[in-house]
Amino acid sequence: MLNYALLVHAAPYSHQAALSALRFAETVVAGGHRLKTVFFYHDGVHNASALMAPPQDEVHLADGWKRLHDEHGAELLVCVAAGLRRGLLDAGEANRHGSASHSVEPPFELTGVGQLVDAMLTNDRLITFAP
């Protein structure tokens, strides 16, 4: 059994890479491996938006990531700097910046790039999905 980490650079619904990352993650756990960490970076932070509302006949990417967390314990880490630049805040950051609302909710976590380095060092494989 291998431990995997994924690095997702692609925004949902704007490039195939975001859906490919989710499908790869599902295949990893179906194959008996462990998906420990998914790190969303650059435009990939949009995968964590609680405001996402795709049509019913499309894959709901945020729900897919949440399901992987709930069923397999995968960490869903969102780069705080990239998220803030793109208007993605959790309740704590919204409060800190005086914003009336937030768009990132658990199990997604805003965190620093140090967590990505940790994922690189503590997993057997790091797979990157980028446009």
104 forms bridges with which residues in the sheet?
49
Q: Are 20 and 35 in contact (CB under 8 A)?
A: no
Where residue 15 falls among pLDDT bands split at 50, 70, 90? Answer: confident
Is residue 79 part of the annotated active site? The answer reads: yes
The DSSP symbol for 94 reads H
**DSSP string across 23-53:** HHHHHHHHTT-EEEEEEE-GGGGGGGBTT--
Instruction: Evaluate if residue 40 carries a pLDDT over 90.
Output: yes
Options 11, 79, 80, 104, the catalytic residue? 79
Cα–Cα distance between 114 and 57 in angstroms, integer?
Answer: 37
pLDDT digits (tens, 9 = 90+) for 46-105: 999 999 999 999 999 999 999 999 999 999 999 999 999 999 999 999 999 999 999 999
Percentage of the residues of the chain whose pLDDT score is greater than 90 = 98
- H or E element that contains 84: helix 80-85
- How far, in Å, are 15, 30, 64, 96, 114 from residue 72 at the CA level? 25, 10, 12, 32, 23
Q: What kind of architecture, by CATH, is found in domain 3-129?
A: 3-Layer(aba) Sandwich (3.40)
Specify the pairing of strand 34-40 against strand 3-8.
parallel
Closest CA to 82 of 6, 5, 10, 4: 10
